Chain A
């Protein structure tokens, strides 16, 4: 398996634009997690899914953020409209369960100007 695949690897956009981050989890994993990493706050959990159903979205900062998982092999994280404070590395991870170890993608480096 190729591991967790995220795209794009880098995204530079202007404030107010819509940003869509994509993730393909490892086949067979039924948990998918979205995290955001900054120097100040470290890795923060945004949302996670189990069998394509959102379980906990309490980490989503505000209504500008939304996440979907239409099927077992694809998830998106959307920011609309984007703001400079959204600049961070966004990671997707998948797992057989949170007690089984998480497998992370390479992340998307987002810069909002």
Chain B
């Protein structure tokens, strides 16, 4: 069956450390993978998109990798801050060019 799994429901780290979140998928062949941030009571906010032919993408303190052999994406936040505390969702296209299917998310807590 098709599955999108994010490594853990919760991740707790100290301020200044690098947070690494994992997204694994099964029985999908995505053309791209996206990461979103969701704060309590709000809708998800788009952060980054990485395509199947890209290995890595960066945006400020964020870095995403995409390994289509391992069927895995890693999402890194360097020099994490308490303001980075939120739930992070990965999403991929169900079939090429179609709507996104989302993982259940990982809740990141950064303590000062």
Contact = CB atoms under 8 A, between A and B. Distances in A.
Interface of A: 4, 33, 35, 42-43, 45, 48, 55-56, 91, 93, 97-107
B99 A101 contact: no
Contacts of B89: 43
B10 interface: no
22 contacts: A33-B100, A42-B102, A43-B102, A45-B101, A48-B99, A55-B98, A98-B97, A98-B98, A98-B99, A99-B93, A100-B49, A101-B49, A102-B34, A102-B36, A102-B44, A102-B100, A104-B43, A104-B45, A105-B43, A106-B41, A106-B42, A107-B43
B46 A103 contact: yes
A45 B2 CA distance: 15
Contacts, number: 54
Nearest to A59: B99
If over half of A's interface residues share one DSSP class (helix, strand or loop), that class is named, otherwise mixed; here it is: strand
Contacts of B93: 98-99
A102 B46 contact: yes
A97 B96 CA distance: 12
B32 interface: yes
Given A55-B98, A101-B49, 11 more contacts: A43-B102, A45-B94, A56-B99, A98-B97, A98-B98, A98-B99, A99-B97, A102-B34, A102-B36, A102-B44, A106-B43
Contacts of B62: none
Given A43-B102, A45-B99, A48-B99, A101 B44 contact: no
Contact of A101 (B46, B98, B104): B46
Interface string B24-41: 000000011010100001
Interface in B77-101: 89, 93-94, 97-101
A37 B10 CA distance: 18
Contacts of A101: 34, 46, 49
